[in-house]
Structure 1
Amino acid sequence: MSSSAAAADDPPDLICHLDSIHGMVDALTSVRWKRHQDAVLELSEHGIVVIVEESGCLQAKVYLKRELFLVYEYAAEGRPRFGMSLDLFVDGLNIFSALGPATVVEIRYPGPDMELILKTVDFPNGSLYAAIRTRILDTISWDYNFEPTGNVPISFTVKSALLKEAIEDLEWPGSSIQIVLQPDPPCVTFKGDGHGELQIDFPYYASTDLLIAFQCSRQVAYWYKYKFLRATTSNIPAGVLKDNRGSKLTIGRGGMLKIQHLVSVGRPGVPHPYGDNVGQPSRIAYIEFYVKAEEEQEDAPINDS
């Protein structure tokens, strides 16, 4: 038997079924900050990780745990990684979502020519099939090397809608935004370079509608490129903003900024095999952005020691 014929008889690395295509599109669109983006997909027994990055300064990860899928059959050894067009992946899923909310899509990898296969499952009016070409990675993703600054992480949580609005209000082409945390009184400040004295304050004790949580024991301040910071909120799904959810921001060693969003992937009221003990599935996609700080910090630099 030829090697190609033998390979054809091997089970695919992954077969999974998804019943909330719209939720998946929301999660992937969250990290789609420009057209013609490429992504890296990493498969494992625990789920799928989608990685998008730019210029070694901005990286985003979408964690799609196996619990998000109706079926998740994993047969690969190790963790296969491959590249593909994020645009084609999102646009392909959008085509399937147009078939109706009850549509179930099978995701299979690899296909006969190492493609990522999308197709309908038990669709009453025939079937829809799509194959997205994948490619071998030329380089590996940069190491974001996020390390906490001490025993107590420096972090705060703000409503996602307010975070998006604050960053957009400080827009200035080619500029930077400074994020300042001070412990006494607890407050987070966003300052825009190029706007003179314009800044936005989030005092912790003023209202729980501003800061949901705050954790900082000393003043810290870092500058970040506006275009990279804006990318972390520019495509937050409308449902997340409407639900008034919170986004958590953590500053690590060297000013590395981690921003975490939660996106619901699931249809309300629909039974799911991974539901909890009250019958409601825990189907949340975790979105993480990592933004490197600019090298110059003259105002209250963080003490990494």
Structure 2
Amino acid sequence: MNSSALDSEAPDLVCQLDNVQGMVDALTAVRWKRSQDAVIELSEHGIVLILEENACLQAKVYLQRELFILYEYSAHGRPRFGVSLSLFVDCLNTFSVPGHSSTIEIRYPGPDMQLLLKSVDSLDAGIYAEIRTRIPDTISWDYNFEPAGSTPITFTVKSAALKEAIDDLEWPGSSIQITLQPVPPTVTFRGDGHGDLQIDFMYYANRDLLMAFHCDSQISHRYKYKFLRAMTSNIPVSVLKDNRGSKLTVGRGGMLKVQHLVSVARQSIPNPHIDSAGYQHPSRIAYIEFFVKPEEDEDNIND
């Protein structure tokens, strides 16, 4: 067999990860319902997992190649395939051993275009899994996230506080109004249902909760409650324990972007990427992004 034939049989990707639980945490953060189909895109820079709902909510998990202890990429272009998120997470969970940072190998494609997973730890029995993939039905919608003006409209709030606020505003089927005002610097979440409930984050009053705030004029947009809850309902326990913050940015037209950071650092040994102040190198962080379209303004529709 000549070398070109061998190259054609090489998988698009072979990678190894030494913290399965970190990957489970990252993927669980975008798991807002029992059955979800995801699109996985591979590149020389890493793996991106994309989920969508009704062209109104989109989530992305960025697993940069630096997260992996081995990342061998042989494909031309950027292969994309569909997979059941629930099945993927459940399979990963079988490799996760409490108190032990398991190492797994992920390979794509298998002989029948499967996603292949296997344990590579000497302490583990040989665990192996195959996940059937599919051709994606649709192309991901282009969210066209652009700044709303010359000054970015953004704030960072403790993830635990954000989750608690959305949980407290629960009125299924309703919407939540998010208002930012520069004087005094305040973010307000207001829900309406069987009455009204309002939660204020005041920048100068409590910077332990509202950690950063940038807004030069008052803005207000409404979003479906179910979409906001999808962004916060499964924030990993590790993020809450680490007391991390979530960054929210309002773009042109009211498009909302929410970013969470999930640690994928190996926990069983001292991590050289974490210094004495607790700073963790970006290479050991998975980036989670949600994009939510605002509700249409009825007044604008009537105009």
- TM-score, length basis structure 2: 0.91
Structure 2 residue aligned with 1:289:
290
Cα distance, 1:99 vs. partner? 7.7
* Equivalent AA in structure 1 for residue 149 of structure 2: G
3-state SS of 1:193 partner? strand
Extract structure 1 runs of 4+ deviating beyond 2 A.
5-9, 122-126, 268-272, 274-278
8 Å CA contact 1:155–1:215 kept in 2: the answer is yes
What does 1:144-293 correspond to in 2, within 5 Å?
Answer: 144-268=143-267, 270=269, 282-293=283-294
Q: Which runs of 5 or more structure 2 residues have no equivalent in the other structure?
A: none
Structure 1 residue aligned with 2:67:
68
Cα distance, 1:125 vs. partner? 5.1
Deviates more, 1:245-254 or 1:118-127: 118-127
Give the Cα–Cα distance (whole angstroms) in 2 for the partners of residues 297 and 186 of structure 1: 28
Cα distance change on mapping 1:185 and 1:126 into 2, 3 Å:
closer
Cα distance change on mapping 1:137 and 1:54 into 2, 3 Å:
same
How many residue pairs end up in the alignment?
295
Q: Report whether the alignment pairs 1:77 with 2:76.
A: yes
What does 1:3-152 correspond to in 2, within 5 Å?
Answer: 6=5, 10-98=9-97, 101-124=100-123, 126-152=125-151
Cα distance, 1:102 vs. partner? 3.7
Structure 2 residue aligned with 1:303:
none
Give the Cα–Cα distance (whole angstroms) in 2 for the partners of residues 184 and 18 of structure 1: 47
- TM-score, length basis structure 1: 0.91
* Equivalent AA in structure 2 for residue 288 of structure 1: E
Cα distance, 1:270 vs. partner? 3.4
Deviates more, 1:155-164 or 1:115-124: 115-124
Cα distance change on mapping 1:285 and 1:178 into 2, 3 Å:
same
* Equivalent AA in structure 1 for residue 220 of structure 2: A
3-state SS of 1:214 partner? strand
3-state SS of 1:143 partner? coil
Cα distance, 1:167 vs. partner? 0.6
Cα distance, 1:103 vs. partner? 2.2
Cα distance, 1:197 vs. partner? 3.5
Give the Cα–Cα distance (whole angstroms) in 2 for the partners of residues 160 and 277 of structure 1: 22
Give the Cα–Cα distance (whole angstroms) in 2 for the partners of residues 100 and 268 of structure 1: 9
Percent sequence identity over aligned pairs: 70
* Equivalent AA in structure 2 for residue 243 of structure 1: D
Cα distance, 1:266 vs. partner? 1.4
What is the RMSD of the two structures over their aligned residues, measured on CA atoms? Answer: 2.4
Cα distance, 1:210 vs. partner? 2.2
* Equivalent AA in structure 2 for residue 228 of structure 1: F
Structure 1 residues 106-154: Cα deviation after superposition (integer angstroms, max 9, x where no partner): 0000000000000011434541110000011121011111111122110
Structure 1 residues 12-44: Cα deviation after superposition (integer angstroms, max 9, x where no partner): 100000110000000000000001111000000
Structure 1 residues 175-213: Cα deviation after superposition (integer angstroms, max 9, x where no partner): 000000001111000000215342001111101122100
* Equivalent AA in structure 2 for residue 167 of structure 1: I
Cα distance change on mapping 1:196 and 1:109 into 2, 3 Å:
same
Cα distance change on mapping 1:209 and 1:157 into 2, 3 Å:
same
Cα distance, 1:263 vs. partner? 0.3
* Equivalent AA in structure 2 for residue 239 of structure 1: S
3-state SS of 1:137 partner? coil
Cα distance change on mapping 1:125 and 1:200 into 2, 3 Å:
closer
Cα distance change on mapping 1:47 and 1:276 into 2, 3 Å:
farther
